[in-house]
Amino acid sequence: MVFKSWRIGLDIQCDGARAVALSQGRHGWYLQRWWDFPHLKTAPTGQIVLPEAMADWHRQLPLGAQLRVSFPGSRTLQKTVTAEPGALTEAQRAMYLASSLSRPLHMNAAELSLDYCTQSSGEYAVTAARREEVEAMRMALHQIRLIPIALAPDASALQSLIPFITAEGYSTVIHQSGEYWLWASAACWGSVDKAQVATVPALCQHIAVQMSQVVTCHQALAVNGVAYFDPWSALVRLQPPLPEKGEHYAVALALALARVHQ
């Protein structure tokens, strides 16, 4: 076993954290291990509190393992920004994009942490979060000796599952995570409060997608023409026993499958 090839996805939610370790073999992705770290008590909303059982988790991870960690998509902002007026250095471009997002938020550009990619139109698709919240996540992980190579919005991670559903004619994955709906297609992703959109049909209408194009990782939500997709089916080799509520690991699996830059 080549330990350095382990890719680990860690999904942190208010009810605890779940992680999956994968390695890539000749024929696809192999499951190495999975972990469930429930909170002994309810974590305060909006605070980064890691389960106590994670304190010594780093001892179970081999050297060289690549860790990707979820960040709440509900705590991010997405915006399309027009290309800069002229050639800029990488640092200047980052400041230009941060300034473009900070003005409508009435924030200082230095208060934002952002990532971006260039669209075919030449515009930038920018994702931003409050820097203090991102740093709080990094600090909490650092205190238990975990250094991720990437923090990714939980909804954006689901894009890693898209290649496994397109062959069947589907375009969009929806997932239920705590009080939020997560959704992703090849081109975009998002997070919607369930208090705002209560049902799957309403969610499909909200994101302007036909239910016949949608799959869900929750069997209970596979109604009204919405197909069920088992996220564990993306792997070619499993290590039983698998967790009883396998759908709760969809984001962790997607993170482990993801490229560093989506």
Tokens of 251: 């984001």
Query: Could you tell me the end-to-end alpha-carbon distance of the chain, in angstroms, rounded to an integer?
Result: 27
Residue whose C-alpha is closest to residue 11's, from 97, 81, 70: 70
What average pLDDT does range 74-87 have in this prediction?
81
Q: What is the C-alpha to C-alpha distance for residues 119 and 2, in angstroms, rounded to an integer?
A: 36
C-alpha torsion 31→33→16→254, nearest 10: -20
Residue 210 has pLDDT above 90, yes or no: yes
User: 2 or 223, which is more confident?
Assistant: 223
The angle formed by the CA atoms of residues 67, 69 and 70, to the nearest 5 degrees, is 160
The domain segmentation of the chain, as residue ranges, is 3-73+134-257, 75-131
Confidence of residue 46 (pLDDT cuts 50, 70, 90): low
What average pLDDT does range 111-139 have in this prediction?
85
List C-alpha distances in Å: 82 to 122, 145, 150.
8, 39, 26
Please identify which residue in the block is written with the tokens 């469930």. Answer: 36
**What CATH number is given for 3-73+134-257 in this structure?**
3.30.420.40
Residue 27 has pLDDT above 90, yes or no: no
The one-letter code for the residue type at 72 is P
Model pTM score:
0.89
| pLDDT of the residue at 1 | 42
Q: What is the DSSP letter of 237?
A: B
What average pLDDT does range 198-218 have in this prediction?
95
Q: What is the C-alpha to C-alpha distance for residues 54 and 136, in angstroms, rounded to an integer?
A: 17
Q: Please check whether residue 109 is in contact with residue 15, taking contact to mean a CB–CB distance below 8 angstroms.
A: no
| pLDDT of the residue at 230 | 95
What average pLDDT does range 102-131 have in this prediction?
80
Q: Please check whether residue 157 is in contact with residue 171, taking contact to mean a CB–CB distance below 8 angstroms.
A: no
**What CATH number is given for 75-131 in this structure?**
3.30.1490
Range in 30-34, 44-48, 210-214 with the lowest mean pLDDT: 44-48
| pLDDT of the residue at 261 | 41
Confidence of residue 47 (pLDDT cuts 50, 70, 90): low
Tokens of 260: 């560093």
Label residue 169 left, alpha or beta by phi (over 0 means left) and psi (-120 to 50 means alpha).
Answer: left
Strand partners, 112: 130
Q: What is the C-alpha to C-alpha distance for residues 20 and 102, in angstroms, rounded to an integer?
A: 35
| pLDDT of the residue at 45 | 58
Range in 2-11, 42-51, 154-163 with the lowest mean pLDDT: 42-51
Confidence of residue 195 (pLDDT cuts 50, 70, 90): very high
User: Quick one: what percent of the chain has pLDDT higher than 90?
Assistant: 57
